[in-house]
Structure 1
Amino acid sequence: MKYIAFILFTVMTNAAAQLMLKHGMMTLGPITFAGVNPILKILQIVFSPWVFAGLATFVISMASHLYVLSKVELSFAYPFLSLAYVAVAVFAYFVFREDLNAWRIAGIGFICVGTILIAQGGSGHEEAGDLSKPVQTSELAQ
């Protein structure tokens, strides 16, 4: 549980990146490549301010995730990324007025319950194993 703050930072930056990308694509409007050089269109998309900010935030999120992976078990850290869906769904409802119906709310509930179970039952600390020692291929086959 020592690295939960870093895991949650990864989740929130991942969700923030998604929201920035959505906002950026909404400001650009429908994307068409008709009569336009596709390379120039892709560059226009990537370097639009909100899309660029979203991509940069993804880089920060991935850097944080790499740090987390150096400290805790993958099977503990990775399921927490599903909480990004929860954050995106809630923020998209308030910011973009996207639908948040009963099925989605139920799914969000299941995601939250599953993440809590993983957090309680998992060993998310380095004492769970020597993460600094590389695993040999022969050890994986056992």
Structure 2
Amino acid sequence: MNLLTFMLAVTSVTLNAFAQIALRKTMQTIGSMPQSILDYFYFGYQLLLNVWFLTGMSLYAVSIGLWMAVLGKVEVSLAYPLLSIGYIITAFIGYFFLHENVNLIRVAGLVTICIGIIIISRSA
């Protein structure tokens, strides 16, 4: 995988992670899922007006476009593990931006994922 393709992959994964954060913020601002069927119409209306939701969906769209470019250049078995970088990005942003609990066990899991990414990248 050349540097440009790697950077496209990392950018795609990063945008995907930011989309997840935006969707989490969406649910924090809108509240929980509706309890009745009629409330779903109002919930959908709230989503369409929510800047976090619109941002998240836009980030997903760009992320998918970049990911397709990556898959056009490298094998999916090499590219797909790079999605794991998103776990690290979302944990970092979740901790600092959303004030979520990232404890030692989660950090150990993230380190394990990083080691796996390194092992897979050396197989190319």
Scaled by the length of structure 1, the TM-score of the pair is 0.79
User: What residue in structure 2 maps to residue 120 of structure 1?
Assistant: 122
Instruction: Measure the CA separation in 2 of the matches of 1:96 and 1:41.
Output: 22
Tell which structure's C-alpha radius of gyration is larger. 1
For residue 61 of structure 2, the aligned residue among 59, 62, 72 is 59
User: What residue in structure 1 maps to residue 99 of structure 2?
Assistant: 97
Contact 1:33 1:41 in 2 (8 A): no
Gaps of 5+ in 2: none
Instruction: Measure the CA separation in 2 of the matches of 1:72 and 1:23.
Output: 33
Instruction: Measure the CA separation in 2 of the matches of 1:9 and 1:91.
Output: 15
For residue 76 of structure 1, the aligned residue among 75, 78, 83 is 78
Task: Return the letter of the residue paired with 1:25.
Answer: M
Identical counterparts, % of pairs: 32
Scaled by the length of structure 2, the TM-score of the pair is 0.90
Instruction: Measure the CA separation in 2 of the matches of 1:74 and 1:87.
Output: 21
Aligned pairs for 1:26-65 within 5 A: 26-34=28-36, 36-65=38-67
Instruction: Measure the CA separation in 1 of the matches of 2:37 and 2:20.
Output: 29
Cα RMSD of the aligned pairs, angstroms, is 1.5
Task: Return the letter of the residue paired with 1:76.
Answer: L
How far off its partner does 1:31 sit? 3.0
Task: Return the letter of the residue paired with 2:57.
Answer: L
Q: Which moved more, 1:9-18 or 1:35-44?
A: 35-44
Decide which structure has greater helix share: 2
Instruction: Measure the CA separation in 2 of the matches of 1:37 and 1:28.
Output: 12
Instruction: Measure the CA separation in 1 of the matches of 2:79 and 2:98.
Output: 29
State the Cα deviation string for residues 78-106 of structure 1 (Å, max 9, x = none): 01001101100111001111111111001
Instruction: Measure the CA separation in 2 of the matches of 1:8 and 1:21.
Output: 20
